[in-house]
Amino acid sequence: MRDERGMKAGNERLRRWAITGLFALGLIVACSDSFLGPWAVTDLRVVAAVVDVDGEPGRANPEPGDGVEVSLRVIDKGSPPSDIEGVPALTPEPLEWLFAACLPLPTLIGAPICADPRAIIQPCEGCVGTPPADPFAFPVMRFQVPSESEVEAAQATSVLLQGIVCVNGVPSTDAIQRFLAGESDDLEPCVPRAEPGREDEPPDGRFVVVQIPIETDASDPNLNPEIDQVRYEGTAWPPPYDQGVPRTAPRTGCRADLESLTPEEQAMHPVAGGPAADIRLQVTRESLQTYTVDDKTLTEEIQITWLTDGGGLVQTFSFITTPAIDSLTQWTPPTGVEEDGQLVRFNFVIRDGRGGTDWVERGLCVLPAPAAESPP
């Protein structure tokens, strides 16, 4: 009953969360021709930005003068096995990015923008990322929040990080300049590399906006919430993907990854066309912080975003409100997979509504259903 009530209440809360947290990070995409829900990962997505304050682990919102580190979580649908010897599959493919941090222009309507070049924060370590020298690199950016006097002069309540993430291409300098200026029409985020890339795949990319609240009460700072555990069918998530999924793991062929497991562990992995399974996410009790607004004490509520690249989820979003510390969803396996198995990736992101974020990745190997025995 608690989960049913949570789902109903969650629909109402989505109106308040959409603009500040979800659309900015590109979590919601248009449904495909098969009417998949927004939980379905079918292409490149930037789904989370985790902010850490230098020297104060766990703090999500910086004060003026603080150094911060912003880590982006980028996902995509699992890659097929590589057809080039010695080159593994990689999900997502090697990334390139270009970002700028600033104190946004004061505005009463519309999304915040950097616009004024004088407001760009320098230096910004990692804001220009041009692997493929390191094909495994994710965007991690470090900069210092301007001083209290600069923040007050700009009438800023947040720091803005805006940019572009690309695969098989490089960020367009024209697009990023127009994007920082607040333009949004007819912008292509990425252009082909000067050197040949994958000619069979055009450049693909996403515009990203991360709004980082500046701490208003240093004596009671906002902390990042923490995912305590994710359980599958009422028990611990089965190995070998119980701590994450290697980026080099191909979408098919996962049956071989199960060979070292016990028969009981192997049996925990689903079969194609099987029944819906319960997935329960639990946060730490401390994740639901209390805070004060206009002398009124409030308690955070945690929003969960459920994402997968295979099968189907009954919902994309749910909420945890005190006294609960967990939430339940259901996942249905795909109806058909190849004989050597299909690896399904799951990404779960939590937000506290005040700038705090955490995420985890898990995986399951879906095997084909046993062949029906012939009647005697």
Q: How confident is the model at residue 112 (pLDDT cuts 50, 70, 90)?
A: confident
Q: How confident is the model at residue 89 (pLDDT cuts 50, 70, 90)?
A: very high
Among 232, 176, 239, smallest CA distance to 208 is for 176
Task: Say which DSSP state 261 is in.
Answer: S
Q: Characterise 62 by phi-psi region: left (phi > 0), alpha (psi -120 to 50), beta (else).
A: beta
DSSP 67-116: EEEEEEEEE-SPPPPPSSTT----SSPPEEEEEEEEPPPP-SSS------
Q: Could you give the CA distance from residue 93 to residue 169 in angstroms, rounded to a whole number?
A: 11
When the pLDDT of each residue in the chain is averaged and rounded to a whole number, the result is 88
- Peptide bond connecting 202 to the previous residue in cis, omega within 30 degrees of 0: no
Q: Which residue has the tokens 């259901």?
A: 330
What confidence tens digit (pLDDT) does each residue in 201-260 have? 789 999 999 999 999 888 899 999 999 999 999 999 999 999 999 999 999 999 999 999
| DSSP states of 334-376 | -S---TT-EEEEEEEEEE-SSS-EEEEEEEEEEBPPPPPPPP-
| Residues pairing with 235 in the sheet | 232
Cα separation, 155 vs 108, in Å, equals 12
Q: Rounded to the nearest 10 degrees, how much is the dihedral formed by the CA atoms of 205, 202, 309, 187?
A: 30
Parts of the chain belonging to CATH 2.60.40.2410: 227-366
Residue range 181-212, pLDDT digits in tens: 888 888 999 999 876 555 567 899 999 999 99
Task: Compute the distance between CA of residue 113 and CA of residue 108 in angstroms, rounded to an integer.
Answer: 12
CA-closest candidate to residue 28, choices 343, 265, 317: 317
What tokens were used for 20? 């500040």
| pTM of the predicted protein model | 0.88
Q: In the predicted model, is pLDDT for residue 332 greater than 90? A: yes
Pick from 29, 15, 50, 42: which is nearest to 352 by CA? 50
Q: What is the pLDDT of residues 267-316, one digit of tens each?
A: 999 999 999 999 999 999 999 999 988 889 999 999 999 999 999 999 99
Q: What is the pLDDT of residues 151-163, one digit of tens each?
A: 999 999 999 999 9
Provide the pLDDT for residue 199. Answer: 59
Choices 3.30.70.1560, 3.40.50.1110, 3.30.1490.20, 2.60.40.2410: CATH for 227-366: 2.60.40.2410
User: Sheet holding 95-102: strands in order across?
Assistant: 128-129, 95-102, 158-167, 204-213
The token pair that represents 257 in the structure block: 């990854």
pLDDT band at 108 (very low <50, low <70, confident <90, very high): low
262 CB neighbour count, 10 Å cutoff:
10
